[in-house]
Structure 1
């Protein structure tokens, strides 16, 4: 999978009149403006409140919700926490997309695992020169501290030296609340 996949998603989503953002490892690579590792999937983040708008917008897609690690067909019910992940497949092209529901209200984002961790919406995402919206790297990294895999360590190593003092400080504080013994804290001083 290459950066072209991000442009393909951008073309698919450009007329969606709600906020959406490339998430996961691709967000790190968009921030760095280069592909740093292989990616096996692509994820976008949207506000939980926009889930039914997305389903209507991608009306040619079939969606499954993830409940306790298992996929089940998503009807049209409004998905509440703890459900936060949807998998979509375009019935015509077989394109696939993972959608992550985020707790966004007005101009604030709240970390679903600990709502005391927040940020303003304008800090939650960035936009590439070509107009592709993506999650800020510190938000992506916060999600990766829970069950950190080798690719997550690689993402952290690739981006940590490009984070501003403010972004590092926010991430350090958030990790201290969420996972106070995480090894990345040493590199965020």
Structure 2
């Protein structure tokens, strides 16, 4: 990924889920941890190192999160390009990722993913025909940290099949309920026909 300024795209020192939740404690709008950290929160233990932390917010609630993360400088991340987003500017409609940069520390802290669903419904950004009630899409840890449930996280990971995605899938499968297996299998059949993971479900 290139940048519009002399900024090291690899200079990550990501917050933990606990630190992210602490910084968002006053935000009443829905949000949740996504990606590999979401799977670890679901499993109740950290299973591997994470170079970043992703969390999702709804597009209409972005201003509330920007206020909560006021000390961070935001950059749009799209098509391999990082571009600074001024504090008074809205991200372009096609942008779904905002990287949060800690200016004082000189590093990235979090990857904020912009959702196009609603407060009551989660919608898959790559195919809006895949959706479910938000109550079925988001779980919460005993400490109150919201996370995207495993079937959805694995649906996103199915596209790339990176080594860490394969490892995440292998660890998650034995813990999935029958309903979660069935849901993920159906989503894979729709979004990725013939996907190898379907056979393990």
In the alignment, which residue of structure 2 is the partner of 1:91?
103
Question: Would the aligned equivalents of 1:51 and 1:78 in 2 still touch at CA under 8 Å?
Answer: no
In the alignment, which residue of structure 1 is the partner of 2:59?
48
Calculate the TM-score normalised by the size of structure 2: 0.87
Report how far residue 68 of structure 1 moved: 1.1
Deviations 1:124-157 (A, max 9, x none): 1100001111110111111111111010011111
Structure 1 stretch displaced more, 135-144 or 7-16: 7-16
Following superposition, which runs of at least 4 residues in structure 1 exceed 4 angstroms of deviation? none
Question: Would the aligned equivalents of 2:23 and 2:68 in 1 still touch at CA under 8 Å?
Answer: no
2:85 alignment partner, one of 74, 84, 90: 74
The structure richer in helix per residue is 1
In the alignment, which residue of structure 2 is the partner of 1:113?
126
Measure, in 2, the Cα distance between the counterparts of 1:163 and 1:69.
33
Structure 1 stretch displaced more, 36-45 or 91-100: 91-100
Alignment gaps of 5+ in structure 1: none
In the alignment, which residue of structure 2 is the partner of 1:100?
113
Give the match's secondary structure for 2:185: helix
Give the match's secondary structure for 2:50: coil
Measure, in 1, the Cα distance between the counterparts of 2:90 and 2:118.
16
Deviations 1:39-71 (A, max 9, x none): 111111111221222112211110001121210
2:139 alignment partner, one of 98, 106, 126: 126
Q: 1:11 to 1:95 in 2, by over 3 A?
A: farther
Measure, in 1, the Cα distance between the counterparts of 2:76 and 2:65.
13
Q: 1:156 to 1:81 in 2, by over 3 A?
A: farther
Q: 1:81 to 1:175 in 2, by over 3 A?
A: farther
Number of residue pairs aligned between Structure 1 and Structure 2:
187
Measure, in 1, the Cα distance between the counterparts of 2:89 and 2:185.
37
